[in-house]
Amino acid sequence: MKKRDDIASVGTSADRLKTWLGEICPSAGIELVGAVSLPCRLPHRRQWEQWIESGRYGGLKYLVREPDNRVDPTLRNPWAKSILVMAHRYTEGWPSGDPAPSSGGIAPEQSPWIERVSRYARGGDYHHVLLKSMKQVVRDLKEKIPGMEAFASTDTGPYLEREYAWLAGLGFLGHNQCLIHEKLGSGMFLGVALTNLIIEDLPNAGTPAVDSLYTTTKRLRRPPKIAPVNLCGSCTRCIDACPTNALDLSKGLDANLCLSTWSIEWQGGAPPESAHLQGGLLFGCDICQAVCPWNNRAQQHSQKNSPVNESYLALPSHHELSLQDLENISDDDFRRHFRQTPIWRCHPEGMRRNAALVRKNLGGGRNNG
Please state, in angstroms and rounded to a whole number, the distance separating the CA atoms of residues 278 and 151: 38
Q: Is there binding between residue 42 and ligand SF4 (CB under 6 A)?
A: no
DSSP 92: S
Q: Sketch the per residue contact string, 162 through 181, with ligand B12: x for CB under 6 A, - otherwise.
A: xx---------x--xxxx--
**Toward ligand B12, which CB reaches closer, 30 or 145?**
30
Q: Sketch the per residue contact string, 162 through 191, with ligand SF4: x for CB under 6 A, - otherwise.
A: ------------xxx---------------
DSSP string of 263-325? Answer: III-TT-S-GGGGGGGTT--B---HHHHT-HHHHHHHHTGGGSPPPPGGGSPPGGGGG--HHH
Q: How many helices (H) and strands (E) does the chain have?
A: 12, 11
What residues from 228 to 247 belong to the interface with ligand SF4 (CB under 6 A)?
A: 232, 235-238, 242, 244, 246-247
131: part of which helix (H) or strand (E)? helix 126-144
Q: Is there binding between residue 251 and ligand B12 (CB under 6 A)?
A: yes
242 binds, among ligand B12, ligand SF4, none (CB under 5 to 8 A by kind): ligand SF4
Please state, in angstroms and rounded to a whole number, the distance separating the CA atoms of residues 211 and 226: 10
**Count of residues touching ligand B12 (by CB under 6 A):** 38
**Toward ligand SF4, which CB reaches closer, 85 or 288?**
288
Within 10 A of 14 (CB to CB), how many other CB atoms are there?
A: 15
Q: How far is the CB of 176 from ligand B12 (least distance, A)?
A: 5
What residues from 290 to 309 belong to the interface with ligand SF4 (CB under 6 A)?
A: 291-294
β-strand partners of 172:
180
Q: How far is CA 259 from CA 96, 174, 282, 312, 350, in A?
A: 21, 18, 10, 22, 13
Nearest in space to 159 (alpha carbons), one of 194, 124, 132, 208: 194
Binding site for ligand SF4 (CB under 6 A): 174-176, 232, 235-238, 242, 244, 246-247, 253, 258-260, 285, 287-288, 291-294
Binding site for ligand B12 (CB under 6 A): 42, 44, 47-48, 51, 60, 63, 118, 120, 154-155, 159-163, 173, 176-179, 186, 188-190, 250-253, 255, 258, 260-261, 265, 284-286, 288
